[in-house]
Amino acid sequence: MSRRNQVVVPQCKAALNAMKYELAAEIGLYTPGQEDFSAEFAGELGTAGPTTSSINWREAATRDVGYIGGSITKRLIQQAEQVLGQL
C-alpha cells in the first residue's frame, strides 16, 4: 500500500490530528477492552478526550477509519467554502 497521505502544510498537522481524534470520539471508537465508563462519558462531555494511546488504529475497522477520513475531508471543504464565502 502506498503512503500518499502527506500533509501539504506541515504546520496544520496538529490540527488535523485533533480533528481526527474528535471524530473518533464522536463515533465511539476506542481500544478493545477499555471498559471504563467514566472515561467514556467524560469523553462525550468533552472533559477527557481520547489520546493517542487510547486508540489502536491498526485494530480499527476499515469502515470506521474511512468514515473519519471522509468526515475530515467534508469539514475541511465546509471550512474552505465559509472562508471563500466571506471574501
Q: Name the residue ranges covered by the structural domains of the chain.
A: 10-86
**pLDDT digit string, tens, across residues 4-61:** 767 788 888 888 888 888 888 888 775 434 544 455 555 555 544 444 446 777 878 8
Asked if 43 and 50 touch (Cβ cutoff 8 Å), the reply is yes
pLDDT at 30: 54
Asked whether the predicted pLDDT for residue 86 surpasses 50, the reply is yes
pLDDT at 2: 57
**Cα gap 5→77, rounded to integer Å:** 17
For residue 17, what are the CA distances in angstroms to 14, 37, 38?
Answer: 5, 24, 24
Q: Which long-range contacts (CB under 8 A, 24 or more apart) does 9-18 make?
A: 16/72
Stronger pLDDT, 83 or 59, i.e. the higher one: 83
For residue 46, what are the CA distances in angstroms to 1, 14, 25, 50, 54?
Answer: 35, 18, 9, 10, 15
